[in-house]
Chains A and B, each alone.
Chain A
Amino acid sequence: MSVKVSSQVLAEATVVALEGEINSTTSGGLQSQLLPLIGPSSVVLIDLTGVSYISSAGLRTLLIVHRHAQQLKAEITLVGLSEEVSFVMSATGFLDFFRIAEDLDAELERAGR
């Protein structure tokens, strides 16, 4: 089982859509796919609409990606969080680290400006 990762560049931003479950077995592979997509000063939108579950290991992967992005002065925004994912991230404090947006199109418009 793996997480499906698809990326495209839209309006100055890299949009990375994830699909599947992010857990201890899938997060290692996910991390190695995500990191090359983050360049210096890039704007990356990670679309989690297709993610039904993120485990503890999965949240750690996202945070590691975020910390890498900080070093490269890149900006990461999470989009499309399900209610459950959002709740778990909020209760455990992970949400505080990220920029969160609800609407992908609005974010793309913002990035294009």
Chain B
Amino acid sequence: MSTPDMRERIDAFPTHRIGPYRVRAGRPFPYGATPVPGGVNFSVYSDGATTMSLVLFERGGTRPSAELEFPLEFRIGSVYAMTVFGLDAENLEYGFRAAGPYAPEHGDRFDAGKVLSDPYARLISGREVWGREPDWDNVYHYRAQVLNDDFDWDGDRPLRIPAEDLVIYETHVRGFTRHPSSKVSAPGTYAGMREKIPYLRELGVNCLELLPVFEFDELDNPRTDPATGERLYNYWGYNTVSFFAPKAGYAATGPFGMQADEFKSLVKELHRAGIEVVLDVVFNHTAEGNEQGPTISFRGLDNATYYMLTPRGEYYNFSGTGNTVNCNHPVVRDFVLSCLRHWVAEYHIDGFRFDLAAILDRAPDGTPLPNPPLLEQLAHDPILRHTKLIAEAWDAAGLYQVGNFPNYGRWSEWNGKYRDTVRRFVKGEPGLVGELATRMAGSPDLYQGRTSSASVNFITAHDGFTLADLVSYNDKHNEANGEDNNDGANDNNSWNCGEEGPSASPHVRELRMRQMKNLLTILLTSQGIPMILAGDEVGRTQLGNNNTYCQDNELSWFDWGLVEANAGLLHFTQALIAFRHAHPVLRSSDHPSGTDRVGSGYPDISWHGVRAWAPDWADHGRVLAMMRCGRHAKGGSVADDHVYIAVNAHWEAHDLELPALPEGQRWHLFADTATAVHPLGAEPELQHPGRFHLGAHSAVVLVGRAAQQTTA
């Protein structure tokens, strides 16, 4: 049986002519521009427009080559759809022109003077080279293009790593390899990142979380550095211009319009290396901003649908950016869902982290919904079924939902309480032993009844101090951002170890190194999903700037010289990650109960202090030890060793009494942040089996197993 020639289809023939173009009524779905036999199908939604035109440009042309008004019979409901035949899709840029009322008090802001970008554009030109100044007089800046969506995945399959087994590494496509020390062939690009996959493998992370890669305009920041006068950028990219299009300026091949292929190739190679890809996505606002912002797409197509508006037609601002996307409007829900499906089906993305996700559960008038339809829909969508969904469970208007974000058994959360508790404890604040225990056990107070992977544990992220700066600065130093140091968080829970900023003192430097190791030790032995900020493993500094959203320079970029300079810290981090992968007892999906459910003679988790079995929960306590019984690993389904972790946030050393192990087993030293870390399986047996001298501001990780296994 042969496949019929698609050209034999009746709808492959034009029915109308508009100027020199042959057209016919199109298919309303999918939205956007889709290649079809003999032509391209264009579809766009607008409820309030009175007329709609398709505006065509030759690639790079400053004036439109044609404008094709959609005939009335090409409109179904509020969707305009038209197939145009004989187009050279590769050299085509297109947009829409919507005419309609300008009546802000009723929510309408139509402007027929603007060419609007297609919200569903899969490819955008106009910003192909990062930082290159465009012609600002151009009538159309972010130009929709038609995508060849026939990438050859060559058998790539989703890895489906169980969430509790993930070690997430949060990074920025450009910042990861832009520094000259990266030595990649195309610095700052998807292709450059691909060349660093061996580094990621050696580090041991199995999930890369990328700061926004949807097309944005890095040049939309009007500020300059007050000291140098240099331009500041929208570096992080939390200002989406086009939600279906990968950022062209992150592609070495952006000037050739091949950013989609380049990004897909990166995902394919990461999968081959056993690394999943999670995208940081921003649905809470768009690059159009408030009333003064540019009209790029949504505002001119259907302002009243896409944005939350007050009864007087003004923009609600729950996102701190001047506008807030109307996420629970049925049309917008459909937009968000289609977008995520697109990234999963077309780009093989493994999960998403939602920026200011609390906004996703607000009704069109801003009220938090008890059963937000968008979140429920995402949780149960057939295409997204096995992807990771991670919420930043707060917004800029004070809705804080850590622990109670509507989750439908699917959503995880960035655990901001974990971050704050661990920082404060390690800094040496009193009264935190009890809360630290709760956080290390997977925060059952917040996530009872959910799997422990509901908690994404992190101490640092792109937003805030790096790990090195957390132990080097008491205060933020954001002067370079041009906002008089008023931007960025003030509650950093940081401690500079005695001196603000870079220090020549060997004592201060050694203490900082130990504090970083202490923080990493807690992070990588806690239950829940650990997330590491890229560069923390080598002590990357931002010189005290805790909000480098605008700094496209060495403040933000990963300095690969640190790989050698801080080889010890890197080695320590690698070893800890390997330790976590080797010990399933740290990665159970259920929360520990503190009881013996498998008859091992030990509870699954137990707490200790300077005395074994006697944790000190008192306010002045600064020592906490946690023991995990290996027989309970993964609910008792796999065998593991005992693991004992003790943290001393006190400025004095303590002699710890260790809990006794079963007959024939001994404690072995995996890591002491004050001294050394040992290779997996070659951890030396402790000389004194029952006690351990833990230095000031130090942490230790011990493994309990049969004595004869020791090789060191």
> Which residue numbers of A lie inside 8 Å of B, CB to CB?
23-25, 55-57, 59-60, 63, 67, 87-88, 90-94, 96-97
Distance A92 CA – B89 CA, assembled complex (angstroms): 19
Residues of A contacting B150 in the complex (Cβ-Cβ under 8 angstroms) = 60
The reply to whether B152 and A91 contact each other, CB–CB distance below 8 Å, is no
- A sample of 10 inter-chain contacts (CB < 8 A) reads A24-B88, A24-B89, A55-B256, A57-B90, A91-B186, A91-B191, A92-B258, A93-B269, A96-B154, A97-B154
Q: Which residues of A contact B518 (CB under 8 A)?
A: none
The chain B residue with its CB closest to the CB of A55 is B90
Q: How many A-B residue pairs have CB under 8 A?
A: 57
Contact B91 A56 (CB under 8 A): no
Q: How far is it, in angstroms, between the C-alpha of A27 and the C-alpha of B251 when the chains are bound?
A: 24
A88 to B258, CA, bound (A): 8
A56-B261 contact in complex given A23-B90, A24-B90, A93-B268, C-beta closer than 8 Å = yes
- A82 CB to nearest B CB, Å: 13
Q: Size of chain B's interface in residues, with CB distance under 8 A?
A: 25
Instruction: Report the Cα distance A73→B282, complex, angstroms.
Output: 47
B253 in complex: contacting residue of A60, A63, A67, A88, CB < 8 Å: A88
**Are B261's CB and A92's CB within 8 A?**
yes
Residue numbers in B under 8 Å from A92 (CB-CB):
191, 253, 258, 261-262, 265
10 interchain residue pairs of minimum CB distance: A93-B265, A24-B90, A91-B191, A92-B261, A91-B252, A92-B262, A91-B253, A91-B262, A92-B258, A57-B90
**Whole-angstrom CA separation of A25 from B92 in the bound complex:** 12
Within the complex, the shortest CB–CB distance from A52 to chain B, in Å, comes to: 13
Q: Contacting B152 at CB < 8 Å: which of A23, A25, A56, A63? A: A63
B95 adjacent to chain A (CB < 8 Å)? no
- B65 → chain A closest CB, angstroms: 16
Contacts of B190 in A (CB 8 A): 91
If over half of A's interface residues share one DSSP class (helix, strand or loop), that class is named, otherwise mixed; here it is helix
B window 256-298: CB within 8 A of A:
256-258, 261-262, 264-265, 268-269
> Is A25 within 8 A of B186, CB to CB?
no
A56 to B264, CA, bound (A): 14
Q: From B258, B268, B269, give the contact of A56 (CB < 8 A).
A: B258
Is B46 an interface residue, CB under 8 A from the partner?
Answer: no
| Other A-B pairs, 11, CB within 8 Å; known A56-B148, A94-B261 | A23-B90, A24-B91, A55-B257, A59-B261, A60-B150, A63-B152, A67-B152, A91-B190, A91-B262, A92-B262, A92-B265
Q: Are B261 and A93 in contact (CB under 8 A)?
A: yes
Contact string, B171-192, partner A, CB cutoff 8 A, digits 1/0? 0000000000000011001110
A56 with B257: CB separation less than 8 A = yes
Kindly list chain A residues whose C-beta atoms are within 8 Å of the C-beta of B89. Answer: 24
Give chain B nearest CB distance to A41 CB in angstroms.
Answer: 23
B264, closest chain A residue (CB): A93
Minimum CB–CB distance from A104 to chain B (whole Å) comes to 25
The interface residues of chain B lying within 8 Å CB-to-CB of A60 are 148, 150
Interface hits, B14-42 → A, CB 8 Å:
none
B contact residues around A91 at 8 Å (CB): 186, 189-191, 251-253, 258, 262, 265
Cα distance A67–B152 when bound, in Å? 10
CA distance A70 to B696 in the complex (A): 65
* Contact flags B70-110 to A (C-beta < 8 A → 1, else 0): 00000000000000000011110000000000000000000
User: Does A90 lie within 8 Å of B257, measured CB to CB?
Assistant: no
Alpha-carbon distance between A103 and B191 when the two chains are bound, in angstroms: 26
Q: Which residues of B contact A87 (CB under 8 A)?
A: 185-186, 252
Q: Which residues of B contact A24 (CB under 8 A)?
A: 88-91
A40 to B189, CA, bound (A): 40
Residues from 141 to 158 in B contacting A, C-beta threshold 8 Å: 148, 150, 152, 154
Q: Who on chain B is nearest to A92 by CB?
A: B261
Assembly CA distance A92 to B261 (angstroms): 5
Q: How far is the CA of A88 from the CA of B190 in the complex (A)?
A: 12
Which residues of the other chain, A, contact B91 by a CB distance below 8 angstroms? 24
- Within the assembled complex, what's the spacing in Å between the Cα atoms of A60 and B154? 14
Docked pose: A67 CA to B256 CA in angstroms: 23
A66 nearest CB across to chain B (Å): 9
The residue of chain A having its C-beta at the shortest distance from the C-beta of B91 within the complex is A24
Give every chain A residue within 8 A of B257 (Cβ-Cβ). Answer: 55-56
Pairwise interchain contact A88-B148, C-beta atoms closer than 8 A:
no
Contacts of A67 in B (CB 8 A): 152
State A87–B253 Cα separation when bound (angstroms): 9
List residues 545-562 of chain B with CB under 8 A from any CB of chain A: none
CA of A94 to CA of B154 in the docked complex: distance in angstroms? 11
Give the residue among B90, B251, B257 with the most A Cβ atoms within 10 A.
Answer: B90
Residues of B within 8 Å of A56, CB to CB, are 90, 148, 256-258, 261
- List residues of chain A with CB within 8 A of the CB of B264: 93
* Residues in A whose Cβ lies below 8 Å from that of B154: 96-97
Q: CA separation between A93 and B261, bound complex, in Å?
A: 7
A33 to B90, CA, bound (A): 21
Find the B residue at minimum CB distance from A58: B90
Closest B residue to A94 by beta carbon equals: B261
Residue in B closest to A27 when the chains form the complex, CB atoms? B90
Closest-by-CB residue of B relative to A91 is: B191
Bitwise, B634-650 to A at CB < 8 A (1) or not (0) is: 00000000000000000
Task: Find chain B residues with CB under 8 A from A55 CB.
Answer: 90, 256-257
In whole angstroms, how far apart are the Cα atoms of A63 and B185 in the complex? Answer: 24
Q: Are B88 and A88 in contact (CB under 8 A)?
A: no
Q: Nearest chain-A residue to B147 (Cβ)?
A: A56
Give complex CA distance A90, B191 in Å: 8
Residue on A nearest B89 in the bound complex, by CB: A24
A60 to B88, CA, bound (A): 15
Q: Chain A: which residue is nearest B148 at the CB level? A: A56
What sequence of 0s and 1s flags, for each residue 227-254 of chain B, a beta carbon within 8 Å of any chain A beta carbon? 0000000000000000000000001110
Say how far B282's CB is from chain A's closest CB, in angstroms: 26
Q: How far is the CA of A55 from the CA of B262 in the complex (A)?
A: 13
Which A residue's beta carbon lies closest to that of B151? Answer: A93
Minimum CB–CB distance for B185 against chain A, Å: 8
User: With the chains together, A20 CA to B89 CA distance in Å?
Assistant: 20
Interface 1/0 per residue, B588-630 and A, CB below 8 Å: 0000000000000000000000000000000000000000000
A23–B154 alpha-carbon span in the complex (Å): 24
Bound Cα distance from A91 to B195, whole angstroms? 10
Report A50 CB to chain B, min CB distance, Å: 19
Give the complex CA separation of A23 and B264 in angstroms: 21
Known: A91-B189, A91-B253. A25 touches B88 (CB 8 A): yes
CA distance A60 to B258 in the complex (A): 11
A88 touching B256, Cβ below 8 Å: yes
Chain A residues lying within 8 Å of B253, measured Cβ to Cβ, are 88, 91-92
What's the Cα separation between A24 and B90 when bound, in Å? 6
Residues on B with C-beta less than 8 A from A59 are 258, 261
